[in-house]
Amino acid sequence: MTATSLIGQSIVKPDARDKALGRTQYGVDLKPRDALVAKVLRSPHPHARILRMDVSKARQLPGVVAVVTAEDTPAVHYGRWVHDRTVFARDKVRHVGEPVAAVAAVDEDTAEEALDLISVEYEQIPEVVDPQSAMAPGAPLVHEDMASYGPSTVRRGGQGNILDQTVISAGDVEKALAQCDVVQRQSYQAPATHHGTIQTHEAVASVDATGKVTLWSATKSAFAVRQTVCLALGLPMSRLRLIVTAMGGDFGARGTAVIEPIVVLLALKTHRPVALTLTRQEEFTGTSYREPAYMELEVGAKKDGTLLAVRGKYTIDTGAYHDSVGHLRPNTAMLVGPYRVPNFHLEGFVVYTNNVPRGHVRAPRAPYPIFAIESLIDAVADKLGMDPVEMRLKNAVQNGDTVPIGAVVEHVGFTQTLQAVSAHLEKEGKPQAPNQAWGVAAGQWSIHPIESGGPTSAAYVKVNEDGTAVLVTGVADQGAGQHALMAQIVAEVLSIPYDAVSLVAADTDLTPYEQATGGSRTTYRAGTTVRLAAEDARRQLISLASERLKVAGADLGMEGGKVFSREAPEVSVTLAALGAASLGSRGGPIMGSSNAGRAELMEAMAKAHGTVDGPIYCCHAAQVEVDPETGQVKVLKYFVAQDVGRALNPKLVEAQIQGGVVFGLGGALTEAVAEQQGHVLNANLLDYRQPVATSVPPIEMTLIEEPSQFGPWGAKGVGEPPTVPVGAAIANAIFRAVGARVTTLPLTPDRVVQALKNRP
């Protein structure tokens, strides 16, 4: 009996083959044959009052089964974090693309025709489309009276168009700056960017004779979306079941209710299945995505590279509605980067405008403040004539440090990532070709104290009569291998093969509560819950074996699908025998469960309150070649060092990091939603340019394993950090190659040419 651990084995994710073969069934593939087709009428104006609306002609069109407007919904405001939305615009529209009505018809053509028959009379009012104007006195108000939205509407401390604002400070920045040998100041800017998932949003809803709704949606936050839809439509949660369908990409697109309230409303109205699939155009005006941001930053250091002070301002254009988790403080705190800075004064603002609503994109809100600080640190290092990695090493955050939000960080592997980059650059050597150079930038993620995000997760593990097992979890798989990993954890705990674990997931009725597959915390948080549930099942198996073998539980081991006496290993019983015996046993069928919190985990976390167990740090290095004539930037090589705590499934970890870098390359070089007076000018994937296979350089990496305390086997989050520093790493490489500093993302050829012209 030798231990053959599954931890560290690169098990293939179960959806890989079907996806590669094009066999995966997505929501539209599963819709009932008699489903009606839904279409949404959307505002053509960024800001306008609705004077009159007439849907009667649309209702009379043969083949139209229902037309719904704000009048068909309860007068409530809803949202996942801020309750500022209604299903349809009621008195005015606040952005281009805002839903004003929807139809359900027997086919798509009829639905389209019905939209044309709805007449809406608008009175345009002045729009406000940038946060600076929106914050100015007398600016048109996007939301005139949020207080009337009801007590559940969270207003986070702002006035006028300011939704949220924060100040974080320590020490005396003025005094510290005055003592610095070098002070650098710069403004940075970054645009709205889109997830650009291949699959557009789609959902299907169906109502049974008792009025209960089943909703199929490709969401990663089934429970949160159920909650939002119930809030929007006044449904008890017992009347709505959400089943998660296959996701054709997430990247943050699938965490909030986008079209679900509309499709559920139409199903309730028509008593027929209704399917709604957004067009690509609607993806750009009818969903929510990464906020444009404006950073002003001032950094001061001593001659030896010690950082003394950071002053910063971070302003987010959140568009007409706010779909992003409201942690402004930790994101503002990112303006100091992963460094020890004794004096800082940071301000953060979230501002409503009449742009398309903003929401989550992979690593929400992190890449832009990091772009600013990592660019400016690089400039300070250059000014001081220091090696940029050396400078970062000198100031790197360490175990036990208190970070700006006031928490203590533990299990920090940042220094090792910097050392790995240093080693890699030494191995690679300085590029000898002209206009080529390496640039570096560090990144960070998950600096919230563990309890701040309210990590809520539950799972249960059944042992079948033949000793195989079933894991029931609310975790949705976005394609990143979450399900492989969760099953791997159960198999490891029960000492059975990976294939002996069946996983069923993400159905609000059937599976235990799960907050979301997101925030890079699925393995860390849900993985821990799953491990505890499997351990609960293991305890029950040991207890049953103890009865049968007449050996005390403490003297029993479990390996290779058997429970055996440690003293006399031939005294053993298979899990298959225990599974079969459990049915008739006093204890009943084996069913282990865990609630995040029920067990020792939360007790330990409570003791560690205020500390951050699994902070994630990384350092990137990009080698670029810049064409000084055209400003074209080519990324030749890429290197990542990231602290992953423990790579439970190394291939999945590598794939996440590679994917994150590629995602970051888009934001760094080409991706920007072109907005003009609230209109989106490039609402298609031809004009909105994402990286393609040929634009991706070889990506090498070193995984640092500085284990966390509470993640399973020490694992930390992986998925979001690799996206964070890409823009800064490439911007710094451009500077090292041709001496030009580009301070606005993406780093397009015209900006590079302009920066070359501005060289001192």
Minimum distance of a copy of itself from residue 712's CB (angstroms): 17
Give the C-alpha separation, 296 to 49, whole Å: 35
Question: Which of the following is catalytic: 291, 374, 492, 720?
Answer: 720
Token pair for 194? 């889109």
Question: For residue 622, which of 399, 401, 388 has the smallest C-alpha distance?
Answer: 388
3-state class (DSSP) for residue 506: coil
Minimum distance of a copy of itself from residue 278's CB (angstroms): 24
Give the C-alpha separation, 104 to 39, whole Å: 7
Residue type at 719?
A: G
Minimum distance of a copy of itself from residue 434's CB (angstroms): 49
Residue 297 vs 487, nearer CB to a copy of itself: 487
Place of tokens 């969903």: 287
Secondary element (H or E) of residue 664: helix 650-669
Residue 8 vs 597, nearer CB to a copy of itself: 597
Residue 131 vs 255, nearer CB to a copy of itself: 255
The residues, any chain, with a CB within 8 Å of residue 291's CB and separated by 6 or more, are 192, 316, 317, 318, 319, 324, 358, 365
Question: For residue 284, which of 264, 256, 258, 265 has the smallest C-alpha distance?
Answer: 258
Active site residue 720: yes
Residue 241 vs 736, nearer CB to a copy of itself: 241
Whether the CB-CB separation of 40 and 93 falls below 8 Å is answered with no
Residue 112 vs 208, nearer CB to a copy of itself: 208
Give the C-alpha separation, 722 to 259, whole Å: 30
The residues, any chain, with a CB within 8 Å of residue 503's CB and separated by 6 or more, are 14, 470, 471, 473, 483, 486, 487, 490
730 DSSP β-pair partners: none
Minimum distance of a copy of itself from residue 227's CB (angstroms): 6
Strands 119-124 and 48-54: what pairing? Answer: antiparallel
Minimum distance of a copy of itself from residue 256's CB (angstroms): 16
3-state class (DSSP) for residue 607: helix
Whether the CB-CB separation of 343 and 308 falls below 8 Å is answered with yes
Give the C-alpha separation, 595 to 526, whole Å: 10
Whether the CB-CB separation of 617 and 412 falls below 8 Å is answered with yes
387 CA to centre of own chain:
33
Residue 123 vs 466, nearer CB to a copy of itself: 466
Minimum distance of a copy of itself from residue 51's CB (angstroms): 37
Q: What DSSP string runs through 193-261?
A: B----SSPPEEEEEE-TTS-EEEEE--S-HHHHHHHHHHHHT--GGGEEEEEPPPS--TTTTSS-SSHH
Minimum distance of a copy of itself from residue 515's CB (angstroms): 8
Minimum distance of a copy of itself from residue 318's CB (angstroms): 25
Strands 36-42 and 274-277: what pairing? Answer: parallel
Token pair for 625? 């070649």
User: If you ran DSSP here, which 8-state letter would residue 335 be given?
Assistant: G
Ramachandran assignment for 731, one of left (phi > 0), alpha (psi -120 to 50 degrees), beta (any other): alpha
Q: Which residues bind a copy of itself (CB under 8 A)?
A: 14-18, 21, 23, 208-210, 212, 223, 227, 230, 236-239, 241, 454, 456-458, 460, 462, 464-466, 468-470, 472, 499-502, 504, 507-513, 515, 583-589, 591, 593, 595-598, 602, 606
Minimum distance of a copy of itself from residue 586's CB (angstroms): 5
Place of tokens 């805002």: 98
Which strands make up the sheet holding 99-105, listed edge to edge?
Answer: 64-68, 99-105, 36-42, 274-277, 202-207, 213-217, 240-244
Question: Residues 713, 715, 716, CA angle at the centre, nearest 5°?
Answer: 155
The residues, any chain, with a CB within 8 Å of residue 286's CB and separated by 6 or more, are 40, 42, 97, 99, 201, 258, 259, 278
Residue 507 vs 705, nearer CB to a copy of itself: 507
Minimum distance of a copy of itself from residue 309's CB (angstroms): 37
Minimum distance of a copy of itself from residue 111's CB (angstroms): 23
Question: For residue 696, which of 649, 737, 662 has the smallest C-alpha distance?
Answer: 662
**How long a stretch of residues is the chain?**
760
Whether the CB-CB separation of 648 and 713 falls below 8 Å is answered with yes
Residue type at 450?
A: I
Residue 284 vs 460, nearer CB to a copy of itself: 460
Q: Kindly tell me the number of DSSP H helices and DSSP E strands found in the chain.
A: 20, 32
Residue 460 vs 688, nearer CB to a copy of itself: 460
Residue 162 vs 516, nearer CB to a copy of itself: 516
Strands 240-244 and 213-217: what pairing? Answer: parallel
Residue 50 vs 458, nearer CB to a copy of itself: 458
Q: What are phi and psi of 17, to 5 degrees?
A: -65, -45
Give the C-alpha separation, 100 to 53, whole Å: 9
Residue 467 vs 645, nearer CB to a copy of itself: 467
Residue 152 vs 179, nearer CB to a copy of itself: 152
Whether the CB-CB separation of 654 and 23 falls below 8 Å is answered with no
Minimum distance of a copy of itself from residue 36's CB (angstroms): 15
Positive or negative torsion for Cα 138, 142, 144, 150? negative
Minimum distance of a copy of itself from residue 539's CB (angstroms): 13
Catalytic residues: 720
